[in-house]
């Protein structure tokens, strides 16, 4: 007997049911931690502790990036790939793609084959354990399909449409503070790695955000592989600075003279370039190409020594915009750098190095209110629900709400959810 529900099948064989499921459901189970409470282990018996499932990657490459997983007592940070059957690794030719060499765990329903990366190294695999009740999975898939569509991602959507004021200004302000505190915690971890050097930490963070999401990881790797001390020694020479960064990127260098210059600098500073295959080149507009962004990054470093010091000193948003403006970099791109790097560092520096980032006229939070709101699929969803998104303070607060509450069904811990569930509401005629 075969029963079809929402695109997958339950096949009854004698006394047991074999569930044939679509990959979207496995993603949903992984991302929403529905495996919690079940012991996980690799196919060869090593215990697995999933510290963070990572960030869902909708571009080319592995399914989830920046995952943190402890395997056999050793903690790994990297990418995770999901398949129903292990053999799909080969069907999709991941074994020939260097972009998948950073996969630390292959999560599957059925480990029917051992898998290797392009270097011939075995990839750890896990047959994910989770509730397997047929009715439960049927309902989960319905939820997963709704979550995968443009509608239904925000659980209280209908209530907000009926009453947009359920989401108060006070909750927005607290959400923005929470988001900045999260970024401050990331900065503190980076300060530990850079032995307390604020300038070095800022250099790495700025590089990461110069990748503008699509190439944030290789840009960060580029900064880590190219010491700030080497950058400073040649900061006054834009040609050498550009040659150093382009050579370190691992991308092909078309200019032979610049390639020779890089080889000289590489030997001088004992540099090692990163793996050029990390860069995503497909479906990227020319103005966003990695080479163009690297040249812009070199130009910024050339123009401004001790960049963070200038950032901390400036208290006017227009002066900050001017500091980061350059040919080929749109105002929207400058705003992204200010939102994701510059203002979080001003906020963190005020709280860690002295003073507070209070609601003064020149505070980072006040500056957020002077920057245009981000325009993306998440902010557009909030607008459809009647929410005002006037500036970056609004968009950052609503992004934090979506990513840390809505996506994880933390409705009870959200002020909106609490008001819906526990506060008496007037019945409208």
Examine the domain organization and report whether 180 and 289 are in the same domain. yes
More confident residue, 88 or 8: 88
Query: What size, in residues, is the chain?
Result: 429
Instruction: Assess if residue 385 is contained within a domain.
Output: no
Per-residue pLDDT, 153: 65
Does a structural domain hold residue 6? no
Ranked by mean pLDDT, the top range of 46-50, 56-60, 283-287, 382-386 is 46-50
Q: Is the pLDDT of residue 150 over 50?
A: no
Same domain, 216 and 298: yes
Q: Is the pLDDT of residue 412 over 80?
A: no
Q: Which one has a higher pLDDT value, 113 or 412?
A: 113
Q: What is the mean pLDDT of residues 37-44?
A: 93
Q: Report whether 301 contacts 307 (CB < 8 A).
A: yes
Which contiguous run of DSSP H or E holds residue 372? none
- What pLDDT is stored for residue 142 in this prediction? 57
Return the minimum-mean-pLDDT range out of 20-34, 250-264, 274-288, 385-399: 20-34
Residues 98 and 227 in one domain: no
Do residues 177 and 55 both lie within one domain? Answer: no
Q: Are 79 and 124 in contact (CB under 8 A)?
A: no
Read off the pLDDT band of 17 (50, 70, 90). very low
Residue 13 lies in a domain: no
Our count of domains for the chain comes to 2
Domain co-membership, 123 together with 188 = no
What phi-psi label fits residue 381: left (phi over 0), alpha (psi between -120 and 50 degrees) or beta? alpha
- Whether 117 and 194 map to the same domain: the answer is no
What is the mean pLDDT of the segment spanning 48-68? 87
Helices 343-352 and 169-193 sit at what angle, rounded to 10 degrees? Answer: 80
Do 296 and 227 lie in one domain? The reply is yes
The share of the chain scoring above pLDDT 90, in percent, equals 65
Residue 57: pLDDT band (50, 70, 90) is: confident
Mean pLDDT value of segment 118-143 = 80
pLDDT at position 4: 31
Please identify, among 351, 368, 385, the residue that sits at the C-terminal boundary of a domain. Answer: 368
Judgement on whether residues 341 and 211 belong to the same structural domain of the protein:
yes
pLDDT at res. 89? 95
Q: Is the pLDDT at 29 greater than 60, yes or no?
A: yes
List, for residues 281-303, the tens digit of each pLDDT value: 877 778 889 999 999 999 999 99
β partners of residue 386: none
Q: Does some domain include residue 402?
A: no
Percent of the residues in the chain that have a pLDDT greater than 70, as a whole number: 86
Q: Rounded CA gap, 372 and 379, in Å? A: 12
Task: Flag whether 86 is in a domain.
Answer: yes
Instruction: Specify whether the CB–CB gap between 30 and 82 falls below 8 A.
Output: yes
Q: How far apart are CA 17 and CA 136, in angstroms?
A: 14
pLDDT of residue 16: 36
Clarify whether residues 120 and 179 are in a common domain. no
Least confident of 58-67, 92-101, 103-112, 161-170: 58-67
The DSSP string of 213-225 is: TTTHHHHHHHHHH
pTM for this entry:
0.66
pLDDT recorded at residue 229: 95
* Angstrom distance (rounded) from CA 319 to CA 240: 28
Last residue of a domain, one of 129, 157, 180: 129
Same domain, yes or no: 125 and 176 = no
How large is the average pLDDT for residues 206-215?
Answer: 93
In sequence order, the β-bridge partners of residue 68 are 52, 77
Helix axes 198-210, 216-225, angle to 10 degrees: 140
Do residues 348 and 292 share a domain?
A: yes
Whether 377 is covered by a domain: the verdict is no
Q: For residue 265, what are the contacts with CB-CB under 8 A and spacing of at least 6?
A: 230, 234, 240, 243, 244, 247, 271
- What average pLDDT is seen over the chain? 86
Give the residue from 97, 129, 161 where a domain finishes.
129
pLDDT band at 304; cut points 50, 70, 90: confident
How far, in Å, are 141, 197, 323, 327, 399 from residue 330 at the CA level? 41, 30, 13, 8, 22
Is residue 380 included in any domain, yes or no? no
CA distances from 150 to 147, 354, 389 (A): 7, 44, 19
Is residue 387 in some structural domain? no
Q: Pull the structure tokens for residue 265.
A: 């600098």
Same domain, 205 and 343: yes
Q: Which domain range does residue 69 map to?
A: 39-129
| Distances 303 to 63, 97, 161, 168 between C-alpha atoms, Å | 38, 38, 49, 43
Could you tell me if 82 and 63 are in contact, meaning their C-beta atoms sit under 8 angstroms apart? yes
Q: Give, as one character, the DSSP assignment of residue 327.
A: T
Q: What is the pLDDT of residues 170-190, one digit of tens each?
A: 999 999 999 999 999 999 999
């Amino acid at each position: 007997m075969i029963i079809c529900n929402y695109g997958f099948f339950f096949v009854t064989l004698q006394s047991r049911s074999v569930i044939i499921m679509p990959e979207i459901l496995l993603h949903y189970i992984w991302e929403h931690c529905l495996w919690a409470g079940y012991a996980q282990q690799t196919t060869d018996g090593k215990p697995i502790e999933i510290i963070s499932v990572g960030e869902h990657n909708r571009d080319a490459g592995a399914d989830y990036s920046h995952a943190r997983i402890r395997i056999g007592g050793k903690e790994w940070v990297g990418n995770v790939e999901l398949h129903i059957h292990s053999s799909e690794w080969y069907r999709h030719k991941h074994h020939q793609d260097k972009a998948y060499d950073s996969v630390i765990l292959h999560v599957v329903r059925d480990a029917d084959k051992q898998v290797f990366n392009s270097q011939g190294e075995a990839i750890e695999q896990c047959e994910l354990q989770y509730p397997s009740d047929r009715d439960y999975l049927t309902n989960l898939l319905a939820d997963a399909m709704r979550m995968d569509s443009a509608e239904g991602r925000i659980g209280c959507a209908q209530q907000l449409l009926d009453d947009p004021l359920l989401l108060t200004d006070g909750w927005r302000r607290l959400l923005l503070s929470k988001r900045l505190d999260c970024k401050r915690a990331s900065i503190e971890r980076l300060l530990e790695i850079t032995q307390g050097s604020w300038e070095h930490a800022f250099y790495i963070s700025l590089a990461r955000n110069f990748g503008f999401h699509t190439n944030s990881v290789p840009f960060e790797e580029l900064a880590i592989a190219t010491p700030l001390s080497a950058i400073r020694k040649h900061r006054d020479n834009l040609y050498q600075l550009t040659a150093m960064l382009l050579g370190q990127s691992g991308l092909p260098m078309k200019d032979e003279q610049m390639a020779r210059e890089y080889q000289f600098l590489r030997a001088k500073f004992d540099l090692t370039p990163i793996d050029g295959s990390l860069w995503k080149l497909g479906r990227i507009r020319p103005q966003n190409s990695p080479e163009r962004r690297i040249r812009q990054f070199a130009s910024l470093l050339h123009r401004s020594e001790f960049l963070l010091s200038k950032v901390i000193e400036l208290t006017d948003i227009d002066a900050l915009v001017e500091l980061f403006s350059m040919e080929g970099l749109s105002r929207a791109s400058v705003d992204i750098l200010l939102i994701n790097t510059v203002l979080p560092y001003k906020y963190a520096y005020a709280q860690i190095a002295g003073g507070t980032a209070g609601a003064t006229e020149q505070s980072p939070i006040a500056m957020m209110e002077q920057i245009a709101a981000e325009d993306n699929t998440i902010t557009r969803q909030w607008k459809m629900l009647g929410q005002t998104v006037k500036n970056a303070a609004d968009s950052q607060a609503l992004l934090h709400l979506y990513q840390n509450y809505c996506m994880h069904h933390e409705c009870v811990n959200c002020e909106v959810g609490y008001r819906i569930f526990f506060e008496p509401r007037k019945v409208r005629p």
